[in-house]
Amino acid sequence: MANATLIPLIDALLPQTQCGQCGHPGCAPYAQAIADGEAINHCVPGGQSTIDALARLLDKPSLPLDPAYGVTPEHRLVAFIREDECIGCTKCIQACPVDAIVGAAKQMHTIMVDECTGCDLCVAPCPVDCIDMVEGPDIPMTWHKASDEPLDADEQAAKDRADKARERFETLKARQAKLAEAKAARRPTAVVAQTSGSGAPDTSALMIAAALARSQLKKTEKQLAALNARGEDASHLQARLPELSEAVSTAEAALAKAKAPGSKRVRTTGAL
């Protein structure tokens, strides 16, 4: 089966948390990577049932979840904002991949629990640490069956939630692209370019990369602390910390370099 045909089938099996724990900025990019040959056992929120479903689809041996990417939570988690501590900075809103946070600048924010995917991406950017991940509605996180039996009500609810999260994610990305296009159209003929001539750095992509790197490091640190507290083996996570710390440093350095005034950008004039 061609990759172009496989990608939507793979994506349909993923939980659509858009969390980035697999190392990709969303479920669709991971589906692309799997179609290109990446391992099927990197989806932490999807867990073993998702891995098994991917193995059946691709006619591959199933694998256990790679512990280097994390541990699947026992219950579905959602974000919770301690509203009396929120300062209205909007950083969590900017980080949410599915528009599940309501609020405005200098106003209290709140989470729409039914829309939250539990991606955890809003936690790291919060400057006052007022966001917790708590147990969400008691429905399955995935809906995969080993047979052709129909889904029960809870499993159907989980699948519907994932489909809705995919739609919200794609709608958000389309809106962001439209806003960026409109902003570019309002610019004068003077354009910003890199001195190398290869075009201006994509700071939005660099911001996302830095946020994902910070979030992955924070999640791994939390998982490491939890395993240590239970007296369980955490050597696989401990070994990954230097790599994740280096990824954060690299991503933040690239973002700072792109944002540095005058260091990598010059203003030129003329038609595009």
Q: H or E stretch including 226?
A: helix 203-229
**Domain residue limits at 228:** 187-268
Do 17 and 64 lie in one domain? The reply is yes
Do 20 and 96 lie in one domain? The reply is no
Do 226 and 248 lie in one domain? The reply is yes
Q: H or E stretch including 173?
A: helix 153-186
| Residue 123 within a domain | yes
Mean pLDDT by 10 residues, the chain (272 residues): 84 95 93 96 95 95 94 90 93 94 91 94 92 88 85 91 95 90 71 44 68 77 81 81 88 83 46 37
Res 262: pLDDT: 59
Q: Give residue-wise pLDDT tens across range 115-172.
A: 999 999 999 999 999 999 999 888 788 899 888 789 999 889 999 999 999 999 999 9
Do 105 and 213 lie in one domain? The reply is no
pTM > 0.75? no
d(CA 55, CA 57): 5
Do 149 and 53 lie in one domain? The reply is yes
158 is written with which tokens? 């989980």
Do 241 and 258 lie in one domain? The reply is yes
Res 195: pLDDT: 41
CATH code of residue 118: 3.30.70.20
Tell me the CA distances in angstroms from 98 to 49, 56, 78, 91, 143, one per residue in order: 23, 29, 13, 14, 20
Res 33: pLDDT: 96
Tell me the CA distances in angstroms from 215 to 43, 123, 208, 209, 229, one per residue in order: 15, 8, 10, 10, 21
- Contacts of residue 196, defined as CB under 8 A and 6 or more positions apart, other chains included, come to none
Res 269: pLDDT: 38
- Which residues pair with residue 78 across a beta bridge? 134
Task: Return the SS3 of 153.
Answer: helix
Q: If 0-12 CB within 10 Å is exposed, 13-18 middle and 19+ buried, where does residue 25 land?
A: middle
- Contacts of residue 134, defined as CB under 8 A and 6 or more positions apart, other chains included, come to 77, 78, 79, 80
Name the one residue in this structure whose structure tokens are 């609020």.
103
Alpha helices in 76-130 (DSSP H): 91-95
CB 44 within 8 A of CB 65: yes
| Residue 24 within a domain | yes
Name the one residue in this structure whose structure tokens are 């440093």.
249
- Share the mean pLDDT of the chain: 85
Query: Are β-strands 77-81 and 131-135 bridged in parallel, bridged antiparallel, or unpaired?
Result: antiparallel
For residue 145, which phi and psi values (nearest 5 degrees)?
Answer: -120, 150
| Residue 153 within a domain | yes
Do 13 and 57 lie in one domain? The reply is yes
Name the one residue in this structure whose structure tokens are 């690239």.
254
Do 262 and 192 lie in one domain? The reply is yes
CB 182 within 8 A of CB 95: no
Res 241: pLDDT: 85
